[in-house]
A and B are shown apart, each in its own frame.
Chain A
């Protein structure tokens, strides 16, 4: 019998659930492998050498062994712990929102290194400024882009005319922006202000870090949030569960202290 195949990977931990007596079933997104679900044997015992290395929102370098049904994590070493982010409740809830989306958009066995990079860069931006929602908006936009779902922002998706500097309409269903002349029968069609279109185009040209320098008013922030989260939710095909806790914290908006 051939020895089991081993490989190394670098991944961001998205989440886990308990498995059996003391194991963890870990979901992660690996730079070179895409989404992986693997078993951390004994990882729930406080003396396990894996304990503390497999918390969500941690970048880990791992040695893996191909198992019969699922791979086994044999060693793990933390590369980036996002320790400051994890001391801030708002930042954690934003990080978990990113996790849920990467879990939803990432596929097993299909590598997408830009998606891995996007997650890391956005976590760094959230860690740097947890009060700003700009990292989430830029993330949602780039998530569509690296998933091959980039919305059209320069030409009307119906008549292909170049878009005038004007208010337009937008629909995830038809793949982006429409001019005011075109009127397809589409339940997802919504207005798109010129200001919002400009921000989307800026996202298209900028890195996450650059996009986060942009400061916008609350009205525009609300429009972008609604537009991008609707579009991401449309492609995800299900409710984004972590959104409700994020909304709740936002509403409560109390000063935060870490114990």
Chain B
């Protein structure tokens, strides 16, 4: 939307609305609401927000090992001597690392691809951090690769591509169990999920 779209609004306000409107999931209405909210913020809070945006752009780099976003490379997880270096978990994006860390049940390392292979959107292996992954697989300490891409068609295709292109025969390659979500129901499950949940059944 252009600044002319807000009749009577000051140009600096229109510019803020316009920038907010670019954010994913923020429509023109939400952008206006957020802009008016920011205007009413105390000065220090508004400047803290602006400063956070500036600082994230100035300081965030990709971790040279796991490719996650970090203030300093290697990132805190890669630098932590207590992490188990024999196991590497591949995820689509940095939010997936946060989700896995919240479980507190995984103590290995990560690798962030920053997307999945998406042929229709023109995203191929070269647009992802796959070369960096294949380089890391040569690490002799590494014994297991957990491919934790999402169980979507493109996530699975990316997992298959990784499986196809890694050359270490002694590497155990696993993926996360497919099955019923907690709070889900059999009745509404699709047949692929049900089939895989059945295959993955466990002793009661």
Q: Across the interface, do B164 and A20 meet the contact criterion of CB distance under 8 Å? A: no
Q: Considering the complex, give the chain A residue whose CB is closest to the CB of B181.
A: A46
| Distance A248 CA – B124 CA, assembled complex (angstroms) | 9
Please tell me the size bucket of the interface on B: 35 or more
Q: Across the interface, do A15 and B120 meet the contact criterion of CB distance under 8 Å? A: yes
Q: Assuming the A-B contacts A93-B119, A242-B120, A259-B147, are A81 and B160 also in contact, with contact meaning beta carbons closer than 8 angstroms in the complex?
A: no
**Interface-forming stretch among B40-48, B52-60, B134-142, B190-198?**
B190-198
| Distance A51 CA – B192 CA, assembled complex (angstroms) | 11
Q: Assuming the A-B contacts A246-B119, A258-B160, A259-B163, are A57 and B190 also in contact, with contact meaning beta carbons closer than 8 angstroms in the complex?
A: no
Q: Across the interface, do A53 and B164 meet the contact criterion of CB distance under 8 Å? A: no
Is A83 an interface residue when CB atoms closer than 8 A count as contact? yes
- Note all chain A residues with C-beta closer than 8 A to B165: 252, 254
Q: Across the interface, do A245 and B124 meet the contact criterion of CB distance under 8 Å? A: yes
The one of A46, A244, A252, A256 in contact with B160, judged by C-beta atoms closer than 8 angstroms, is A256
| Distance A256 CA – B176 CA, assembled complex (angstroms) | 20
Q: Across the interface, do A257 and B164 meet the contact criterion of CB distance under 8 Å? A: yes
| Distance A114 CA – B185 CA, assembled complex (angstroms) | 36
Q: Assuming the A-B contacts A52-B190, A56-B153, A92-B157, are A258 and B120 also in contact, with contact meaning beta carbons closer than 8 angstroms in the complex?
A: no
Is B144 an interface residue when CB atoms closer than 8 A count as contact? no
Residues in B109-135 with C-beta less than 8 Å from chain A: 117, 119-122, 124-125
Please tell me the size bucket of the interface on A: 35 or more
Is A47 an interface residue when CB atoms closer than 8 A count as contact? yes
Q: Across the interface, do A83 and B163 meet the contact criterion of CB distance under 8 Å? A: no
B108 to chain A, nearest CB (A): 18
Q: Across the interface, do B157 and A93 meet the contact criterion of CB distance under 8 Å? A: yes
B174 to chain A, nearest CB (A): 8
The one of B147, B153, B159, B175 in contact with A55, judged by C-beta atoms closer than 8 angstroms, is B153
- Note all chain A residues with C-beta closer than 8 A to B25: 19-21
Cβ contacts A85-103/B at 8 Å (1 or 0 each):
0111100110011011001
Q: Across the interface, do B191 and A78 meet the contact criterion of CB distance under 8 Å? A: yes
Is B152 an interface residue when CB atoms closer than 8 A count as contact? yes
The one of A15, A52, A100, A258 in contact with B192, judged by C-beta atoms closer than 8 angstroms, is A52
Is B65 an interface residue when CB atoms closer than 8 A count as contact? no
- Note all chain A residues with C-beta closer than 8 A to B181: 46-47, 51
- Note all chain A residues with C-beta closer than 8 A to B24: 18
Q: Across the interface, do B161 and A259 meet the contact criterion of CB distance under 8 Å? A: no
| Distance A55 CA – B154 CA, assembled complex (angstroms) | 9
The one of A81, A92, A97, A241 in contact with B121, judged by C-beta atoms closer than 8 angstroms, is A241
Is B183 an interface residue when CB atoms closer than 8 A count as contact? yes
- Note all chain A residues with C-beta closer than 8 A to B161: 89
Is A213 an interface residue when CB atoms closer than 8 A count as contact? no
Q: Across the interface, do A244 and B122 meet the contact criterion of CB distance under 8 Å? A: yes
Q: Assuming the A-B contacts A52-B190, A52-B193, A259-B175, are A47 and B183 also in contact, with contact meaning beta carbons closer than 8 angstroms in the complex?
A: yes
Q: Across the interface, do B188 and A256 meet the contact criterion of CB distance under 8 Å? A: no
- Note all chain A residues with C-beta closer than 8 A to B8: none
| Distance A109 CA – B117 CA, assembled complex (angstroms) | 31
| Distance A49 CA – B181 CA, assembled complex (angstroms) | 11
- Note all chain B residues with C-beta closer than 8 A to A259: 147, 159-160, 163, 173-175
| Distance A170 CA – B165 CA, assembled complex (angstroms) | 40
Residues in A231-259 with C-beta less than 8 Å from chain B: 241-242, 244-246, 248, 252, 254, 256-259
Instruction: Enumerate chain A interface residues (CB-CB to B < 8 A).
Output: 15, 18-21, 46-47, 49, 51-53, 55-57, 78, 81, 83, 86-89, 92-93, 96-97, 99-100, 103, 241-242, 244-246, 248, 252, 254, 256-259
25 A-B contacts (beta carbon < 8 Å): A15-B120, A19-B25, A46-B184, A47-B182, A47-B184, A49-B188, A52-B192, A53-B190, A56-B154, A78-B192, A81-B191, A81-B192, A83-B192, A83-B195, A86-B153, A86-B192, A88-B160, A89-B164, A92-B153, A92-B156, A93-B157, A241-B120, A242-B120, A254-B165, A259-B175
Q: Which 5 A-B pairs have the closest CB atoms?
A: A49-B188, A52-B190, A242-B119, A245-B119, A46-B181
Beyond contacts A92-B157, A93-B157: 6 other A-B pairs, Cβ-Cβ < 8 A, are A46-B181, A81-B191, A89-B160, A245-B117, A259-B173, A259-B174
